Amino acid sequence: MVLTLAKSLRIGAFAAVFVFTLYGFIHGKFSSEKRWYLIDNQKNVQNQQNNRKFEQHKIVLFWHTELPDKSVREDHMESIKKYIAEAHTLYSPIDECGNCSFTMDMSKITDNNTAAVIFLYKFVEPGKMPIKRRNDQLYIYWTKESPSTLKYYHNETFDFEESIKFNSTMGYRRNSDIYTPFLTSVYRTLQIKDLSDNNVTWIPMTKNKWAAAVISNCGATPAAVYRHKLVTKISILSEGRLKTFGKCFRKQISRKMNSIPNLLKSYKFYLAFENSYHCRDYITEKLFQNAFHGNTVPVVWGATKADYTSLAPPGSFIFAEDFNSVEELVTYLNYLDRNDTAYLEYFRWRTMRVENFSIVKQTKDLCQLCKIIQGKAKYNISDPNHVSKFLSGRNSLRSQTLQKKVTSLKEWFFEEENKECLNFRGKSYF
């Protein structure tokens, strides 16, 4: 019995020593690996910071001039200011995209570091362009309007192309050189969250109203005229449950940031109807800002279903043209109004990993432009062969700025557009 006990003690002591030694080896190995990982990671961060230090600072200038209508100019100027402020904060271009800054200071046109000049469509006019064009500056044509609005409301003909040439296009169309969709911080906010366990069942409990529409353009385009009639008919069929706002209905809403999303938080549906019909990729803040920030289900009309499917989160919208009549659409909205389970299906996208959506992962906007002028990216890196029929010299800008030119904005913007975009004359409801 004594021998057995002694033997057990020896075995136990040996086992303790073995376990302690094994633990020390494993812990030391893992700690060592962790230390080396941290050192390597610190080196990578330091290398990135050093690379940015050695990058030459590049300036992007937003060109602007006087306009006949001062209020229109003020609106555009304010919009650009907000755009620049967002670029310097939310996009963090220096950290993520390169050593670039954005300005409206017109004196920077002669600064040696000014690598690109952006011209909003309203500020493109012979006689009001820079007096002397530098060979090392990229000229970019930027528009946020659809072709139908440019044609019917602004009477754009692109006759200025005879004397003014651009290197690149910038806009909401995916085949633009610098792609600037109407995405807002909803995507950037949701990207940093893990939404896989997100609970959206609370949303119906915040809704006590049926639907809303906000329309201020009643007749600038044929599609805008049709939209007004369409919303009016839905209002009649809903027996007044559709609440209408905007200039077209003499119910002005504040233009402050998020005023419309805040209004929509108590509504189950929002009519996100565009003022253009089937214009390529023309999906505006009505969807990306108003509806998604407002926690409501958008009923969309304007772009093609293919464009909505490509650009919006999966299952996030109701496509009006899927229905045979306005009556059928209203009937479906009434069904969703009574069925929370079916209604919540339109919020399932929030339980997905938003950062994996293709539209979110794509490098775009002023971040893409900064990478281009720093020589880090090609034009439209998501689609390097886009509109190759019209453009040439698709290399990075470090030494290739002048090799790339837009041969015809008119052809690219008008003639390559969907026919119904520029020829829409209205039709029977759906």
What residue ranges define each of the domains in the chain, with the CATH number in brackets?
58-180+364-423 (no CATH), 185-359 (3.40.50.11660)
* Cβ proximity of 185 and 240 under 8 Å: no
DSSP conformation letters of 34-53: HHHHHHHHHHHHHHHHHHHH
| Residues whose CB is less than 8 angstroms from the CB of residue 60 and which lie 6 or more positions away in sequence, other chains included | 100, 101, 102, 103, 114, 115, 116, 117, 118, 366, 369, 370, 373
Residue 414 has pLDDT above 80, yes or no: yes
| Nearest C-alpha neighbor of 124 from the set 61, 62, 64, 169 | 64
Averaged pLDDT for residues 137-149: 94
**What Cα–Cα distance (Å) separates residue 258 from each residue in 183, 265, 317?**
14, 11, 20
Q: What is the mean pLDDT of the chain?
A: 80
Name residue, tokens 């109701």.
Answer: 318
Q: Lowest-confidence range among 42-46, 308-312, 375-379?
A: 42-46
33 is catalytic: no
pLDDT at 21: 47
Residue 352 has pLDDT above 90, yes or no: no
Of 74, 125, 145, 345, the catalytic one is 145
Region for residue 302 given its phi and psi (left: phi exceeds 0; alpha: psi -120 to 50; beta: otherwise): left
| Nearest C-alpha neighbor of 192 from the set 79, 90, 341 | 90
Can you tell me whether residue 321 is helix, strand or coil? helix
* Cβ proximity of 59 and 109 under 8 Å: no
Of 96 and 304, more confident: 304
pLDDT at 37: 33
Rounded distance between C-alpha atoms, residue 390 and residue 171, angstroms: 16
pLDDT at 85: 82
Can you tell me whether residue 252 is helix, strand or coil? coil
pLDDT at 363: 62
Name residue, tokens 């009574």.
Answer: 338
> For residue 332, which phi and psi values (nearest 5 degrees)?
-65, -40
Residue 33 has pLDDT above 60, yes or no: no
